[in-house]
Amino acid sequence: MYYKFSGFTQKLTGSAPATAYNPQGLRASLPAESPTMIFATPTKVVSEAGATAEYMGANKVPDLQKLFQTSDGTPVHLKRGYPDRLLYRTTMALTIGGVAYCLVALYIAAQPNRK
Amino acid sequence: MAHQVHAYHMVDPSPWPLTGAVGALLLTSGLAIWMHFHDMTLLALGLILLLLTMYQWWRDIIREGTFQGHHTPPVQKGLRYGMILFITSEVFFFLGFFWAFYHASLAPTPELGGCWPPTGITPLDPFEVPLLNTAVLLASGVTVTWAHHSIMEGHRKEAIQSLALTILLGFYFTFLQAMEYYEAPFTIADGVYGSTFFVATGFHGLHVIIGSTFLAICLLRQVLYHFTSDHHFGFEAAAWYWHFVDVVWLFLYISIYWWGS
């Protein structure tokens, strides 16, 4: 029985006779000792990891801050331009229309019941 | 652009108080019209207007605070006072329904059989689904506190996960309560027992839905990086509201479900 030193298990294991003619120590590809085992890398804090993959999207707040702080005199509810204007006008239309509809409905409701 | 020499927030002119007031007008008159003429148009219009107002008003507050930096420490203090006062008003709201329950149950009238629960009422077993509901809400109180600490320590992923778990627990409570409502052997029309039970637990359930929605908005804002580790009042307000909802449930459970069975 011929033996060789297994670099993987760090124990003697059986081997073929041919290995006796090719000593391990002389072969560059097979190291006599296994590399030091690493059980865990220390967890990286996000701030140290730098610009790595973001969790659920990138931070757009600084851009939005710049957008909303432009001194163009527009009030905050219209600051984003077209989508804000659309929503505002729809809401105002419903408001004014609603008041009119309400007054008519209450006027009708106030009429005495004619059977 | 003139710069202010004080730390307070002079708000831009806004149309939302007007649209909100009109929304309230349409809701109330719509309710009257629906009751007399069976027409839901005005009611629906009021509801839509109210939702539009809430969306735009609160969107603007987020813009003013997170994007324009108007929420300085004195302004934040005012917002805190505001939220505390609002929750206090809600406490008084529930106090009324607890008063009604105790008025009816401490001295049950002869019409009820002189006993509580009244004759003919089979109350729900407090140690079945109601106990599970209690555990669910208490657990959600833990997860929301975990979320708060995660935000304060800058742990983005943990904050998102714990906040999402809180919301899921809220939905689970609502689902369980809906099942209980469906399976209950008594209805709101079953005398004063039914009235006090369903009005008190019903308004509580509505507040759970409101609280869950508030937390869901906070989850969206957390994902969008709105909260920083030392400025996240929107989340704190949602957490206060959630704890309030939890405490109201505990009182409901002890009084109506347990003592009242």
Q: What is the ipTM of this complex?
A: 0.85
Domain B1-70 belongs to what topology?
Helix Hairpins (1.10.287)
pLDDT at A17: 80
Query: Which part of chain B is CATH 1.10.287.70?
Result: 1-70
> In whole angstroms, what is the distance from residue B71 CA to residue B231 CA?
9
Q: Does A22 touch chain B (CB under 8 A)?
A: no
Q: Does A95 touch chain B (CB under 8 A)?
A: yes
Given an 8 Å threshold on Cβ–Cβ distance, is B48 in contact with A94? yes
Radius of gyration of chain A, Cα coordinates, nearest whole angstrom? 40
Residue B98 CA, chain-centre distance (Å), reads 17
Q: Which residues of A touch B45 (CB under 8 A)?
A: 94, 97-98, 101
* Closest listed residue to residue B52, CA positions, set B11, B26, B86, B23: B23
pLDDT digits (tens, 9 = 90+) for B13-46: 999 999 999 999 999 999 999 999 999 999 999 9
Residues 163-202 in B contacting A (C-alpha not used; CB under 8 Å): none
Q: Which residues of A touch B224 (CB under 8 A)?
A: 57, 60-61
Given an 8 Å threshold on Cβ–Cβ distance, is B156 in contact with A75? no
Q: Which residues of A touch B19 (CB under 8 A)?
A: 91-92, 94-95
Neighbours of B162 (CB within 10 A): 21
pLDDT at A50: 47
Domain B72-258 belongs to what topology?
Four Helix Bundle (Hemerythrin (Met), subunit A) (1.20.120)
Residue B113 CA, chain-centre distance (Å), reads 36
Given an 8 Å threshold on Cβ–Cβ distance, is A95 in contact with B37? no
Q: State residue A13 phi and psi, 5-degree precision.
A: -130, 160
Q: Which residues of B touch A65 (CB under 8 A)?
A: 66-69
When pLDDT is averaged across residues B86-110 and rounded to a whole number, the result is: 97
When pLDDT is averaged across residues B42-66 and rounded to a whole number, the result is: 97
Q: DSSP string spanning B93-121?
A: HHHHHHHHHHHHHHS--GGGTSSSSPTT-
Q: Does A46 touch chain B (CB under 8 A)?
A: yes
At a CB cut-off of 8 Å and minimum separation 6, what does A13 contact? Answer: A3, A4, A5, A6
Chain A closest CA to B206's CA: distance in Å? 26
pLDDT in tens, chain A (115 residues): 778 877 677 788 888 887 777 766 666 666 556 666 655 555 555 454 444 456 778 999 999 999 999 989 999 999 999 999 999 999 999 999 999 999 999 999 999 986 5
* Closest listed residue to residue B260, CA positions, set B136, B134, B125, B135: B125
pLDDT digits (tens, 9 = 90+) for B152-181: 999 999 999 999 999 999 999 999 999 999
Given an 8 Å threshold on Cβ–Cβ distance, is A88 in contact with B15? yes
pLDDT at B3: 76
Chain B closest CA to A38's CA: distance in Å? 26
